[in-house]
Structure 1
Amino acid sequence: MVTEVKQVRKSISLALAFIYTPIAKGVIALGNLITPDKGFKWGLFTNENEFRELMDHAHVRGLVESDEHEMLQNVFELGDTLVRELMVHRTDMVWIERDKSLRQALSLALRSGYSRIPVTGENIDNVIGIAYVKDLAKRALDHHEAETTEKVEQHIRPAVFVPENKEAAELLKEMQRDQIHLAIVVDEYGGTAGIITIEDIIEEIVGEIADEYDDGIEEFNWISETKARAKASMHIEDLAGELKIEMDRDEFEDVDTVGGYMAEKLGRVPIAGSTINLHGYSITSERPLGRRRRISSVIIERLDKEVDEHE
């Protein structure tokens, strides 16, 4: 087991060395300069601890930037990280039923921003494959009638399943070797625990990738007399306070945020255009942001009294 872990770490280190060749060469060259008393006569490090000690020493002396030091430490810690710690939980998954049409699948992909979507059978614990948007789009373009007459299950690719207690470093190696982008994570009972992508693992090394379109909206602000915008991360009680409505704690017992409340009411993760009603107001999710395509903000509109009475 120890040998396998070392091999995985060696593979990851080589991959990073390929990407950061100048840094890798510089680190080796600095070794003897920083700690001449240790005498790295082979120009390499004999074990992991020796390398990490050198990086700590270089960081303290200001020769290695904080983000570079953190990245190198993350590479080694990846060997002790399990898949379940990095996965997207099942409650945050975007998925589609097997009997949906190509048009419905393409619409879901457009609204959610995902290019690969798990396809389910009876329920989310029965993932039968992965729908690639490029496959669906090509089929719809070549045969226009297929958009409404063919089902998404006719155009899926096999899904890859991994246990939630698998080491992330080992999975990264397999995904690179087999060119796997997305895998379904299963729990000890065989149910769907979530999904994980190669980007999820890489982010654990390099840090979270910021979204270029994050426009830093306010937590809550009125756009007009009847319309407002709020962050999906806003606490549901704070939203109730802004809207001056009364909510019982039982209504949001298991959630805290506006986004979480929407997911609970919808029964699945909200995507752009998803709408729920709340005490005379409609709440509609806006476009997703970030690599994981989470809803960033919502539009809140006051409903007409006549509509509210007939709900």
Structure 2
Amino acid sequence: MNILIAVAASILLMAFAGLMAATESALSVMSVDDVRALAKLHRSRRALEAIANQPAAHRNVVMFARIASETVVAVVVTAALLTSGLPLWAGLLISIAIMTTASFVLAGSSPRSVGRVRPEGIVAFAAPVVHILRIVLGPLANLLVALGDRVTPGRPGTSAFASEEQLLSMVDEATRHDVLEKDERELIHSIFEWGDTHVREVMVPRIDMVTVEADTSLADAGALFLSSGLSRIPVIGDDTDDIVGVLYLRDVARISLDKKSAPRGASVRSLAHDAVFLPELKKADDALRDMQASSTHLAFVVDEHGGIAGLVTLEDLLEELVGEIRDEFDRGAPEATALADGRYRVAARMHIEDLGELFGLDLDDDEVDSVGGLLAKELDRVPEVGDHVVVSGLHLEADRVEARRGRVTNILVWPDQELLDAQRAFGGDE
């Protein structure tokens, strides 16, 4: 009879430990907002809201209840076997075998898998029990957690991610398992890199700025707009450091089309809008917020000495985050142009699979998609004009740099002699 009671108690406690393991796993994949949203839809609203308000405390008590249940089961099973007449060594070995199997299967892998797959259902079902456990066992669990904090060096965080690198590593892992697309991975990485980017890394350098002097006629200013293709041009006084403001194409066009409504004595200086200035070490995300707050699309970047280092636009900041933005007025150059000497000039943004098709090769890379990215990966740094690498029998050489931001825009590509010989031999065999 005692053995039957012990078996029944062990089964119930192990089932409870399995529920706690599933709940622990479910809580690890649900955010606080997820639990709050679940509370609005479920009858156990009060318990779910309590879990959302104190997630760490409830996770601790769930873990404590699971460990305590498994410990009690281990003691009961061992005691039952030792009182059954078996030798001590045999009873201990059988107890270890039973508890290892039961803990791994019934309170380990199986319930945790269920918790990860159906987190909402598990948390909603277990919420009342977990909340009661928090009230009853919470003080003891908190005492043990405090003791663990004293023993363990450093203070453990409550976040699921200990660092930015850990989060990005999980993003890479999700991409390798096709949970995320490569474009989504690149966007997430860009967001983190963008937060560490300074305005001076994104700006148009001073030497490449298109400016108009304040005493220039509106007709000449209009011609400059047409030739440059810009919609906003800085207005300067004596030199580039003497910024008067920003001239908008729409203002010049309005006066040109409706001269009767134009203000008397209208000039470039009178039409200039107030300028916005940003320090060159300002972070890109902060600069974007400042420009949004001031409703401006163009800001001047100031160096440590107070001089003009360059300018930055909203488009520059957004392109740093999401890549090149092209509109219907941008004249796109062809991605590949054949040259007379058997080489090709290709756009840095060209996909490596398209490059492979151009040369009859099967090019693929798990980390990069573009030819420019492939060149940068092989160099292990940002490419500069003249940089050269060989990949799969193809020579890649950085050819042209965008004046605005110093990025490589075109790459020269040609096959090496061994690749040509192999392709000729393969073609001859056919």
The verdict on how the C-alpha distance between 1:291 and 1:69 changes in structure 2, with shifts beyond 3 A counting, is same
**Offset of 1:121 from its aligned partner?**
0.3
Q: TM-score, normalised by structure 1?
A: 0.55
1:29-56 CA-to-partner distances (Å, cap 9, x unmatched) read xxxxxxx688223267755636434322
Q: Tell me if 1:162 matches 2:278.
A: yes
Once residues 38 and 51 of structure 1 are traced to their aligned partners in structure 2, the CA distance between those partners, rounded to angstroms, is 18
Q: Tell me if 1:199 matches 2:315.
A: yes
The verdict on how the C-alpha distance between 1:158 and 1:220 changes in structure 2, with shifts beyond 3 A counting, is farther
Answer whether contact 1:78 1:168 (CA < 8 A) is retained: yes
The verdict on how the C-alpha distance between 1:112 and 1:219 changes in structure 2, with shifts beyond 3 A counting, is farther
Which residue in 1 is equivalent to 2:198? 82
Once residues 60 and 197 of structure 1 are traced to their aligned partners in structure 2, the CA distance between those partners, rounded to angstroms, is 35
**Offset of 1:148 from its aligned partner?**
12
1:257-290 CA-to-partner distances (Å, cap 9, x unmatched) read 9xxxxxxxxxxxxxxxxxxxxxxxxxxxxxxx99
1:126-169 CA-to-partner distances (Å, cap 9, x unmatched) read 11100011112112222169799642111110000111111111
Once residues 238 and 228 of structure 2 are traced to their aligned partners in structure 1, the CA distance between those partners, rounded to angstroms, is 22
The verdict on how the C-alpha distance between 1:181 and 1:101 changes in structure 2, with shifts beyond 3 A counting, is same
Which residue in 2 is equivalent to 1:215? 333
Answer whether contact 1:163 1:185 (CA < 8 A) is retained: yes
Q: Tell me if 1:39 matches 2:155.
A: no
Unaligned runs of 5+ in 1: 1-35, 222-255, 258-288, 297-311
The verdict on how the C-alpha distance between 1:146 and 1:220 changes in structure 2, with shifts beyond 3 A counting, is farther
Answer whether contact 1:164 1:193 (CA < 8 A) is retained: yes
Instruction: Select the structure that is richer in helix.
Output: 2
The verdict on how the C-alpha distance between 1:145 and 1:38 changes in structure 2, with shifts beyond 3 A counting, is closer
Once residues 118 and 75 of structure 1 are traced to their aligned partners in structure 2, the CA distance between those partners, rounded to angstroms, is 29
User: SS at 1:196's partner residue?
Assistant: strand
Once residues 209 and 158 of structure 1 are traced to their aligned partners in structure 2, the CA distance between those partners, rounded to angstroms, is 26
Answer whether contact 2:246 2:274 (CA < 8 A) is retained: yes
How does 1:179-258 map onto structure 2 within 5 Å? 179-209=295-325, 213-216=331-334, 218=337
Which residue in 2 is equivalent to 1:55? 171
Which residue in 1 is equivalent to 2:86? none
Amino acid of the structure 1 residue aligned with 2:199: V
Q: TM-score, normalised by structure 2?
A: 0.40
The verdict on how the C-alpha distance between 1:107 and 1:149 changes in structure 2, with shifts beyond 3 A counting, is farther
Answer whether contact 2:244 2:275 (CA < 8 A) is retained: yes
The verdict on how the C-alpha distance between 1:144 and 1:92 changes in structure 2, with shifts beyond 3 A counting, is farther
Once residues 168 and 153 of structure 1 are traced to their aligned partners in structure 2, the CA distance between those partners, rounded to angstroms, is 30
Instruction: Select the structure that is richer in strand.
Output: 1
Answer whether contact 2:208 2:404 (CA < 8 A) is retained: no
Q: Tell me if 1:70 matches 2:70.
A: no
Overall identity of the aligned pairs, in %: 40
Kindly tell me the number of residue pairs found equivalent between the two proteins. Answer: 196
Amino acid of the structure 2 residue aligned with 1:215: A
Once residues 180 and 283 of structure 2 are traced to their aligned partners in structure 1, the CA distance between those partners, rounded to angstroms, is 28
**C-alpha root-mean-square deviation of aligned residues, in Å?**
3.7
Amino acid of the structure 2 residue aligned with 1:206: V
Q: Tell me if 1:141 matches 2:257.
A: yes
Answer whether contact 1:101 1:147 (CA < 8 A) is retained: no
Aligned partner of 2:211 among 95, 106, 111: 95
Once residues 92 and 144 of structure 1 are traced to their aligned partners in structure 2, the CA distance between those partners, rounded to angstroms, is 36
Once residues 296 and 203 of structure 2 are traced to their aligned partners in structure 1, the CA distance between those partners, rounded to angstroms, is 15
How does 1:266-305 map onto structure 2 within 5 Å? none
Amino acid of the structure 2 residue aligned with 1:95: T
Answer whether contact 2:234 2:243 (CA < 8 A) is retained: yes
Once residues 27 and 404 of structure 2 are traced to their aligned partners in structure 1, the CA distance between those partners, rounded to angstroms, is 44
Bigger radius of gyration, 1 or 2? 2
Aligned partner of 1:120 among 208, 233, 236: 236
The verdict on how the C-alpha distance between 1:146 and 1:173 changes in structure 2, with shifts beyond 3 A counting, is closer
Answer whether contact 2:208 2:403 (CA < 8 A) is retained: no
Which residue in 2 is equivalent to 1:12? none
The verdict on how the C-alpha distance between 1:116 and 1:67 changes in structure 2, with shifts beyond 3 A counting, is same
Answer whether contact 1:83 1:168 (CA < 8 A) is retained: yes
Amino acid of the structure 2 residue aligned with 1:40: V
The verdict on how the C-alpha distance between 1:39 and 1:146 changes in structure 2, with shifts beyond 3 A counting, is closer
Answer whether contact 2:195 2:284 (CA < 8 A) is retained: yes
